């Protein structure tokens, strides 16, 4: 019998820039409250979370600056592409995240958006920004690993 390898995740978009600009300390999965035209546009793959972040406001977590393109077939009921979108989290998780953001200087950065069992989910990282020298070290390490792989490929 064949084993199922599909985990039920269909990745919509990734935030590759986030791993270069931030150190990740914790990853949390959150649902998103979306309108009908927004989910249609997401299913078409017209979403960008590269410059977005999440904040705590009135005891809730909101996704700011994410861009979901307008859905062309939605006439008058279309959405604003850069609206704030509420994230669905437990009260305990919200309190934990709010404490980290306010006290310890962390920020909430979305790393990827995906479908899980037909529902749109967002993976949020509790992150701290890298300094310039940290980014240089990351770049140097990546280049060295690439060079090392080339060397081993040539020698074998």
pLDDT over threshold 90, residue 130: no
What tens digit of pLDDT does each residue of 18-67 get? Answer: 888 898 999 999 999 988 888 888 898 889 999 999 999 998 999 999 99
Q: Two tokens at 51?
A: 């410059």
Confidence of residue 137 (pLDDT cuts 50, 70, 90): confident
Q: What is the pTM of this model?
A: 0.80
Q: Got the DSSP string for 79-113?
A: PPTT--EEEE--HHHHHHHHHHHHHH--EEEEEEE
Domains assigned to the chain = 9-131 (2.40.280.10)
Distance CA 136, CA 146 (A): 15
Given pLDDT bands bounded at 50, 70 and 90, which one contains residue 5?
A: low
User: Mind listing the pLDDT tens digit for each residue in 70-126?
Assistant: 888 777 778 778 889 999 999 999 999 988 888 887 999 999 999 998 899 999 999
- Output the pLDDT for position 92: 93
């Amino acid at each position: 019998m064949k084993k199922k390898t599909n985990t039920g995740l269909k990745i919509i978009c990734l935030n590759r820039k986030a791993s270069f600009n931030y150190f990740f300390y914790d990853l949390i999965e959150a649902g998103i409250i979306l309108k009908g035209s927004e989910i249609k546009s997401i299913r078409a793959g017209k979403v960008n979370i590269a410059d977005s972040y999440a904040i705590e406001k009135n005891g809730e977590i909101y996704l700011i600056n994410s861009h979901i393109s307008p859905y062309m077939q939605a006439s008058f009921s279309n959405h604003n592409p850069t609206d704030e979108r509420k994230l669905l989290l437990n009260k305990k998780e919200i309190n934990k995240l709010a404490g980290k953001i306010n006290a310890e200087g962390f920020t909430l950065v979305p790393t990827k958006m995906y479908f899980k069992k037909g529902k749109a989910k967002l993976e949020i990282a509790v992150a701290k920004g890298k300094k310039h020298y940290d980014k240089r070290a990351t770049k140097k390490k990546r280049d060295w690993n690439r060079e090392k792989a080339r060397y081993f490929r040539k020698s074998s």
